[in-house]
């Protein structure tokens, strides 16, 4: 009987493992904004925010007016607060309506790689994060 009680306790513990455990997600803050190159809004592509301190990056699609909103874990949840390296990948529509990457772009290639981008942004933990980013030639 004692072995059964011990086995039952072990099973309950295994089943509950992870129950009530804290989520490993970092807190996020909503981020919206616009992206431009030399003052002209981009009309398509993707924008990515990579936290300088590490952690999951945020992504967003760039609209026809250069507007974007970021998502990290769920749609529209924003980005992890702190300083970020910003990466832009320009795309254009294909005949079937999907976006495809552009191999030649009017923006400098340095903005398309995490290791070479000079574009940065700060995400505040509280309040509105409405960013107006402008890449320079």
Question: Does residue 19 form part of some domain?
Answer: no
Are 8 and 14 a contacting pair, CB within 8 Å?
no
- Residue 57: which CATH number? 2.60.40.10
pLDDT higher than threshold 80 for residue 55: yes
What is the tens place of the pLDDT at every residue in 82-112? Answer: 999 999 998 655 555 555 554 456 799 999 9
- Which of residues 2 and 70 earns the better pLDDT score? 70
Full-model pTM: 0.76
**Is there a domain that residue 1 lies in?**
no
Q: Convert 79-104 to b/e letters by CB count within 10 Å (16 or more is b).
A: bbbbebbbbbbbbeeeeeeebeeeee
Count of other CB atoms within 10 angstroms of residue 26: 16
Total of domains in the chain? 1
Cα angle vertex 36, ends 124, 71, to 5°? 45
**16 domain-assigned:** no
Residue 43 belongs to a domain: yes
Mean local confidence (pLDDT), 50-61:
96
Judge whether 58 and 72 are in contact, CB under 8 Å: yes
């Amino acid at each position: 009987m004692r072995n059964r009680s011990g086995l039952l306790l072990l099973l309950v513990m295994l089943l509950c493992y992870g129950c009530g455990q804290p989520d490993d997600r970092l807190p996020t803050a909503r981020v919206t904004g616009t992206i431009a190159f030399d003052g002209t809004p981009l009309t398509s592509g993707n924008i990515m925010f990579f936290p300088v301190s590490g952690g999951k990056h945020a992504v967003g699609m760039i609209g026809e007016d250069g507007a974007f909103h970021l998502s990290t874990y769920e749609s529209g949840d924003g980005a992890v607060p702190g300083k970020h390296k910003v990466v832009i990948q320009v795309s254009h529509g294909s005949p079937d309506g999907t976006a495809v990457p552009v191999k030649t772009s009017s923006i400098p290639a340095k903005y398309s790689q995490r290791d070479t981008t000079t574009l940065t942004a700060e995400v505040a933990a509280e309040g509105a994060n409405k960013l107006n980013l402008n890449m320079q030639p």
